[in-house]
Amino acid sequence: MIKAKTLVIASHNPGKVREIEQLLLPFDLSIVSASDLGLCEVDESGATFAENAEIKARAAAESAGMSALADDSGLAVTALDGAPGIYSARWAGPDKDFGSAMARIEHELQLFGTLDYSARFVCALALAQPGAEIQIFEGEVAGELTFPPRGSNGFGYDPIFVANGMRETFGELDPSRKHAISHRARAFAKLKQYLERGDAAL
């Protein structure tokens, strides 16, 4: 196990920060967010989830002078050629209106006249540590979209996503159940293995 240290969560999304804090509970870490430290949001100019996560982790680690963890994740809809994908947050606009973003997805699927509502949630974590190479951990979960949105748990696109083998949307699931099967949970399982090996210089 690692010793107690402070880890910066390179996110200004309070829902995402809360979820990451819960996933890191097994570790004796003091968590602060990028917004807690007044760090600026960076331009996510990468072409993949992993590239964007690395950009955010590097920026936060350099600005804060300590280890930083960044998450870049989103919804990839099969019939929309993987959109919104890395632009998932941007589809919600500057006001983070995911209600409008979910309505846009439904509208575009209807325009295509498709019966294929399959989709994937994808997560890439990037851990930036002093004097060490960036570590990337990825996870995903497949499922189907459902409309209208259901449930008030979680955040983002959770109310329209039903993981394969489930009946409830991520928005309806108790957080503990979601954390057991989600894309973020699968990426965190790989991160936890890395931390438990004692390789991290947090």
d(CA 114, CA 110): 7
What average pLDDT does range 48-70 have in this prediction?
93
Instruction: Report if pTM > 0.75.
Output: yes
What average pLDDT does range 170-196 have in this prediction?
91
What average pLDDT does range 139-146 have in this prediction?
98
Higher local confidence (pLDDT), 122 or 37: 122
**What is the CA angle 22-78-113, rounded to 5?**
125
User: What's the pLDDT at 199?
Assistant: 58
Measured distance between the N- and C-terminal CA atoms of the chain, rounded to whole angstroms:
11
Residue of 28, 36, 72, 116 marked active site: 72
What average pLDDT does range 87-108 have in this prediction?
95
Whether 7 has a pLDDT exceeding 80, the answer reads: yes
Q: Is 72 a catalytic residue?
A: yes
User: What's the pLDDT at 110?
Assistant: 95
Whether 198 has a pLDDT exceeding 80, the answer reads: no
**Mean pLDDT estimate for the chain:** 90
Cβ-contact 166, 109 below 8 angstroms: no
Q: Which amino acid is at 123?
A: C
